[in-house]
Structure 1
Amino acid sequence: MDNDDPGRRLIDPERVAAAIDGLGDRAVIDEWAQRFSVVADPSRLALLVSIHYAREISVSDLAAVTGMTDTAVSQALRLLRAHGLVTTQRTGRVVRYRLADATVHELIHRVRPHPAQPVTDEDR
C-alpha cells in the first residue's frame, strides 16, 4: 500500500502505521500463505494432526489411522516435508515422521486440543 499517496485519505493514520509495521516483510506473508494452502487440504491436515498426537509415526501406521493408501500418505508427506512442516527420524529400517514446525504444533492445539485437556477461554 502506498500510504504516501496524497489522494488517499486515511481515517486513522496511527492504526495504518501499526498495520504496516505488523505486516512486515511480504515474503514472510507469502511463505505462510503457501504453508496454509498446504495445511488446508483435509488429508494433509489429518496427517499433521495424527503426527502431532503420535509424536512420531510411520507411513504405514499413518495410512492405517487416516484410511489413506501408503502411496497417498507418502506423497502428502513429501509435500509437507518440502514445506518444512514435518521431518523424519530413522530407526533401523523404520522411518517415522514428526512435526518440524512449532507454529503448526500450536495451531493444532487450537484446532484440536488434546482430548484430556478441557478447552479453556484462553484456548479460544
Structure 2
Amino acid sequence: MHLVPAERAGHRTIDDHRVCDAVAGIGEPEHVRAWADRFSLLADPGRLALLLALRTAGPIAVTDLAVATGMTDTAVSQALRLLRAAGVVSGDRQGRIVRYRIVDDMTAQLLRHCAAPQGHVVADA
C-alpha cells in the first residue's frame, strides 16, 4: 500500500493492490479539483446550452446566443462572464460587437460527448 497517504495507511483493506490502483487513478487533489470545477460549469443547463451553441455556431454575439438559447441578454452575459473568468470562453471585439468562442480544449472535448446523440459513442479525435 505504498500509494496510500500515511494517515490512512493503518486502515484495513481487502485488496491492497486495488487500493493502490484506486489512489493512482484519483491522482493529485489539485487535478481532481480542476476537473470538478470544469464539471460544475457544465452542470448548469443554461451554461451548458450556451457552450453547446458556441461549439456548433462558432464565434457568436450575446444577443444571438440569447435568441438561440431562449435566455435573456443579461443572463447570457452573466453566464459568459463566469465562463470567461474560468478560461473556458473568450470574446473578440469587433466594433461594438463581442463574439464569443470556446478556448478551453478539454471543455470542447467534453461538449463533443454532450452533443452526441444518445447511445452514440464519439470517437476520440
TM-score under structure 1 normalisation?
0.83
Letter in 1 for 2:20: A
Aligned to 1:36: 39
SS in 2 for 1:17: helix
Distance 1:100 1:18 in 2: 33
Say which of 89, 94, 97 aligns to 2:97.
94
Runs of 4+ in 1 over 4 A off after TM superposition: 120-123
- Equivalent pair of 2:62/2:77 in contact (CA under 8 Å): yes
CA-to-aligned-CA distance 1:68-102 (integer Å, 9 cap, x gap): 11111000100111111111122233211111211
Aligned to 2:87: 84
Letter in 2 for 1:4: A
SS in 1 for 2:55: helix
Letter in 1 for 2:34: E
Which segments of 5 or more consecutive residues in structure 2 lack a partner in the other structure?
Answer: none
TM-score under structure 2 normalisation?
0.82
Distance 1:47 1:29 in 2: 24
Letter in 1 for 2:75: A
The answer to whether the aligner puts 1:54 opposite 2:77 as a matched pair is no
Aligned to 1:4: 9
Q: How many correspondences in the alignment?
A: 118
Cα distance, 1:121–1:95 mapped onto 2, change above 3 Å: closer
